[in-house]
Amino acid sequence: MLVLGCGGGNVLDPKFQPQVANNPDNFQFQATGVTNVTQTLTYNWQNSGAAASINQACSVSGGSAAIHLRDATNAIVYSKDLKANGTFTNNPGTAGTWKIEVVLSGVSGTLNFRAQKN
């Protein structure tokens, strides 16, 4: 059996296929029509700065969804419920390869967020 894949290392439920744009200093995540998904997704993201601006515009109708950002030293520099909409800034961190963790538990709705170098 041959299995091929690109980046992220996540196995996705066929009902849950987020659109992800993972570019240096600019990460975007969008998923519509999400229904009762429980999964943790982790993405490596290059941030050349010590901070990021995070814009959250989600509509969560059930379950819970959270985002965590870890800087290049693996310190958590941002953690927020995705039900909170708005633009936020993380605690200062270390530039380099950051991790973006999307933690979903029985979530339904629309998920949309962006992280950009600040």
The pLDDT tens digits of the residues spanning 4-25 come to 334 444 455 545 789 999 999 9
**Phi then psi dihedrals of residue 75, to 5 deg:** -80, 140
Domain ranges for the chain, please list them. Answer: 22-117
Report how far residue 53's alpha carbon sits from residue 118's, in angstroms, rounded to the nearest whole number: 5
pLDDT digits (tens, 9 = 90+) for 18-54: 999 999 999 999 999 999 999 999 999 999 999 999 9
Task: Supply the pTM of this predicted model.
Answer: 0.86
Instruction: Determine the Cα–Cα distance for residues 102 and 95; give it in Å rounded to an integer.
Output: 20
Q: Could you tell me the fold of the domain covering 22-117? A: Jelly Rolls (2.60.120)
